[in-house]
A and B are shown apart, each in its own frame.
Chain A
């Protein structure tokens, strides 16, 4: 079942075990005398293999929710369990290790390490997870080939287009075979065509069983998800199951062995 704890928007009984269970999550930002309650007691359950879109207007708390649920940020109250492990009681070191083992991240600004090549960026989480260097290198290259960057293995981020950089980010998020991938506006910095390519790639990965939690303010992107929640003023105000998953671009996803059409390089002004 895909639901929050209060059952809002539930669309039927779940067949899959939950991978994320969050209850009463509160997050307050304090700047001097001013305090802003970014999350006001959010409850959320996400099943393994689900593709969840987190939507909402700017400043509604979407990214904060993602950061808190993934353990990137501390929370002020509540409880978060990911893949059976409770994040809120973990030390920073354990939480970090848990992230390395179970999670992958895709950011709007790509956030690649500029001094590393594409391969080196992708193998990074594998090495952190303790994979042998040679195996990590092979897995990284395989993943990059899968996302269509077989010709760009040794390029540094500054030598790649925005779409290519985002695909490296996706490859990095996937290389360690995480159980859950968090994507924060992954298409925000891309043109429409490249964004579609990236989304179809994510859709394909989701169909392979990956849990994907995606933050976006783009309704078209949100419509490709299996389930959609709406965040407003730090609360989940809507939770909707979109079944079957609408993936208009899915048909256009190229086979994994073939690279997709080259993403458009950001045109020079």
Chain B
């Protein structure tokens, strides 16, 4: 930057007197010895070096990005002074800029922190609840268990430092009697040797086991089960299993830790540990006394395997140990389950999934933050145009001017990113508090995931960097605006002359964008990519606009192109339905942004017409406040457009979520019909002691029919998929299910005429299966692969590891309820695969009209505690599911509403600046007879107009998009679109009112401007 010849080395620069005007040009600045600023540079360089050495890549990135600004700060005193004094000159506005910019960082940081918390919490549950157990080898019955233990012991596995045999069965356990009786229908009754258990894994403190092995009539109870039953040491509990009972006295309560806190041995995430440790032989004795015979599931043998290392490091050897175990158990009917690694993988996946979800929804707010920054900096540049022009006139180079402006932006970016990171931690905490409640509702009493707030250094650094880069990039790009300031026009505050829209550069960019957009569009139409289907036509539209600029009338051209893009964006998911079926959340983000941006463009070019209409409604020319209030936003289209976009984007997301949320609530009856398939109640019971259909029939005269099915936890995987096996409940059914619990099908093989035909065919054909729509996506929102009719799936027995391949012939609308995913297959196949574990433990009960299904379900639960009966009406299941869904949508809405704060703050900032810009004009108006009330009204009319227009655009687009979503069948077929007017109106009214409140202060300030004072102000 320094082009002047350097000063002689022997001639030190004279010290700069305080308050002296800046040198005419930075060219004229003599080179200085490393005095104050240079020392600062040295310090900053040292800080940078420190970051390079010890702190990691992200701080290095921040330092590298900051280097040009650190250089300016240290070696360009004029630019430094300009930047710092401009920040300090208006501290209130500086604060507003920082607040506007920090929200982007805060949103990103909070999303990452939410992911961190979920990941850490599930990791933690893996370490505490599984303790030293890294793998579990499962087999059916005591004999197979012994074979497994012998085979593993004989193999002397390298990666294993200990094993522990357990023998377990699911049973109902009760305590107390009469009205105070309490029961847990799904307790885990476990036999194991406590001495071996304490030694298991080499760290007794990590096992949670204390004392000797329970003996006689005593048992050790896990803390979770003790809480459910309300029992302590000395209290009796009764175990119900295989039609027999056994009463035991509690002699100790064990923590939810390690072996004592063992949770499900397969993949279940975040479950409680309702464990009861009983004396060895108890299960066998109960089984031998089994009056139910072969209709019950036998106990499961589990060989817990601990890898070398501690509870956390052991999992790293899982792959090796898994291989060794499989080799050692060749020929033994057992399944090696990588319990801890699976839980850790699930933790990572869930954490990442939630992070992504919050980042995507937060991205709308981040976009709003970016618009705010652009708006503020363009306004700053306009406000300072004259002084910037003067600086250019006295010799400041163009690059230096940009540098000074960018330096100011860098200071804002740095401070706001730092503050945003801290605010993000706070927002993350709030989200976690809300999410904890939702999780506890979603999982019911069997899930107890304690969310432990966690914010990793990596996430905080990522959040900081993302916010810093976004703010910095926005500011630097906006700063280029000042580079094009014409000195004379700036000094004399003359308007910029109209650009030559037909210049070559515009043409070239138009050709480029049109080409890129067309290529994307062609790709999308040929069925490859939903993102391309949204972004392609938008880019093409932009390119076409540039090509037509100056050649056709502006307003009609822009109106036609923008309308076309809006219409296409709304219609595309219907027109190219197959591409959008696999659409990720990013597609919805792109759709929302493109829709709103082009709608705002459409509105912006037609503002005069809209303004004229509003003026005519508001009393025409007589209403001077309205006229003046509309004149400014209509004249300053860029500024107004940015504000409109800010409002439209956030309101769009909020209204869309509100409408969809309401839509779910309105679908209860339809959903009950679809999920229940004609049945009113579902009765699950302990496979070791199932509830008999005849017993239920006897219980109430309202029972019309019962379809008995078997439900066995099984693992499935799409053939060809690299994803791990996931747990499902395999429902083995026969013809009785048709019309009495067969859930509604979304799609089925074309050669079946009706849904009933599909179910009958599957009941008769053990090579086919019916799965849920989110079978392959893990049930976690859009984005995963979709199971389709004709796909092949592999079924794996969760205990024996036996596999079989089935073909999907039907896809169920909703296969997940009460926290369990269902897959429907023939009962014959179930019996063949699972043997005596395939019992009729899942009953679909159809009732006569007028029957109180909830009362009947409660009666079944009370009557069959010993069977672990868990009956629910489908109405309750659907209501609970919708309640959780709505609560989650509310959480997301609250999160998105942060963007609304940015929008409202942005409008406030713009109005504050508008008052400052227009002081003279207000003075003139006051001199001409405009009353102070009229001035206030004019400013309020202006902010009301912008807020109302933005809210209107967002609301209309959201309602159209919601209508399209509902009618696309994404939320099921045969559904009707309704608008939740009350909620939408409330949302709109609150947003509007908040906007008016935020702009009331500047409006009042404007009304208090004294004309003589305002007129004295120089430009």
Contacts and interface: CB of A to CB of B under 8 A. Distances in A.
Contact of A99 (B495, B622, B632, B928): B928
Contacts of A100: 928-930
Contacts of A251: none
Contacts of A67: 1011-1012, 1015
Contacts of B494: 158
A136 interface: yes
Contacts of B1011: 67, 72-73
B621 interface: yes
A268 B929 contact: no
B633 to A, nearest CB: 9
Interface stretch (A9-17, A105-113, A197-205, A213-221): A105-113
B920 interface: yes
Interface string A169-180: 000100000000
Contacts, number: 88
A63 interface: yes
A93 B921 contact: no
Contacts of B631: 113, 115-116
A258 B508 CA distance: 49
Interface in A70-87: 70, 72-74
B88 interface: no
Contacts of B927: 70, 72, 99, 105
B488 A269 contact: yes
B928 A124 contact: yes
Contacts of A111: 920-921, 923-924, 1015
A216 B103 CA distance: 53
Chain A contact residues (Cβ within 8 angstroms of B): what range?
Answer: 35 or more
Nearest to B935: A96
Q: Which of A68, A70, A128, A136 has the most CB of B within 10 A?
A: A128
Contact of A96 (B621, B635, B926, B1016): B926
Interface residues of B, number: 34
A129 B921 contact: no
A191 interface: no
B925 A113 contact: yes
Interface string A231-244: 00000000000000
Nearest to B1013: A73
A70 B926 CA distance: 12
A172 B921 CA distance: 14
A125 B926 CA distance: 10
Nearest to B635: A115
Contacts of A73: 1010-1013
A175 B621 CA distance: 16
B634 A115 contact: yes
A92 interface: yes
Q: Which of A64, A109, A115 has the most CB of B within 10 A?
A: A115
Nearest to B488: A269
A176 to B, nearest CB: 8
Given A127-B624, A158-B494, A114 B931 contact: no
Given A93-B931, A114-B635, A128 B624 contact: yes
B1019 A128 contact: no
Contacts of A124: 624, 925, 928
A90 interface: no
Given A115-B632, A268-B488, A109 B929 contact: no
B929 A96 contact: yes
Nearest to A108: B1015
B923 to A, nearest CB: 7
A127 B495 CA distance: 28
Interface in B622-679: 622, 624, 628, 631-632, 634-636
A97 interface: yes
A93 B1016 contact: no
A179 to B, nearest CB: 14
B110 interface: no
A101 interface: yes
A162 B960 CA distance: 50
Interface in B927-950: 927-933
A158 B931 contact: no
B620 interface: yes
Contacts of A127: 621-622, 624
Interface in B477-499: 488, 492, 494-495
B930 A128 contact: yes
A133 interface: yes
A172 B1015 CA distance: 17
Given A72-B1012, A109-B1019, A111-B1015, A125 B624 contact: no
Contacts of B621: 123, 127, 133, 136-137
Contact of A93 (B620, B632, B920, B932): B932
Q: Which of B492, B628, B632, B931 has the most CB of A within 10 A?
A: B931
Nearest to B930: A128
Q: Which of B624, B921, B1011 has the most CB of A within 10 A?
A: B1011
A137 B492 CA distance: 31
Contacts of A96: 926, 929-932
A155 to B, nearest CB: 12
Contacts of B634: 115
Interface in A128-144: 128-129, 133, 136-137
A63 B929 contact: no
A185 B194 CA distance: 102
Contacts of A128: 624, 928-930
Contacts of A92: 931-932
B458 to A, nearest CB: 50
B915 to A, nearest CB: 15
A112 B930 CA distance: 14
Nearest to A124: B928
A105 B620 contact: no
Contact of A133 (B488, B620, B933): B620
Contacts of B488: 268-269
Contacts of A107: 924, 1015
Interface in B359-400: none
Nearest to A66: B1012
Contacts of A266: 492
Contacts of B920: 109, 111
A147 B1019 CA distance: 26
Interface in B153-174: none
A105 B1013 CA distance: 15
Nearest to A110: B924
B271 to A, nearest CB: 65
A109 B1015 CA distance: 9
Nearest to A136: B621
Interface in B450-508: 488, 492, 494-495
A116 B920 CA distance: 15
A202 to B, nearest CB: 18
A114 B635 CA distance: 9
B924 A105 contact: yes
A52 B641 CA distance: 49
A127 B623 CA distance: 9
Contact of A158 (B495, B926, B1010, B1012): B495
B926 to A, nearest CB: 7
Contacts of B932: 92-93, 96
Q: What are the 10 A-B residue pairs with the smallest beta carbon separation, nearest first?
A: A100-B929, A73-B1012, A133-B621, A115-B635, A67-B1012, A72-B1012, A115-B631, A111-B924, A158-B495, A128-B929
Given A115-B631, A128-B928, A133-B620, 6 more contacts: A72-B927, A92-B932, A99-B927, A113-B631, A113-B925, A115-B635
23 contacts: A72-B926, A72-B927, A72-B1012, A72-B1015, A73-B1010, A73-B1013, A92-B931, A96-B931, A96-B932, A99-B927, A99-B929, A105-B928, A111-B920, A113-B924, A113-B925, A115-B631, A123-B621, A124-B925, A127-B621, A128-B624, A128-B928, A128-B929, A133-B621
Interface of A: 63-64, 67-68, 70, 72-74, 92-93, 96-97, 99-101, 105, 107, 109, 111-116, 123-125, 127-129, 133, 136-137, 158, 172, 266, 268-269
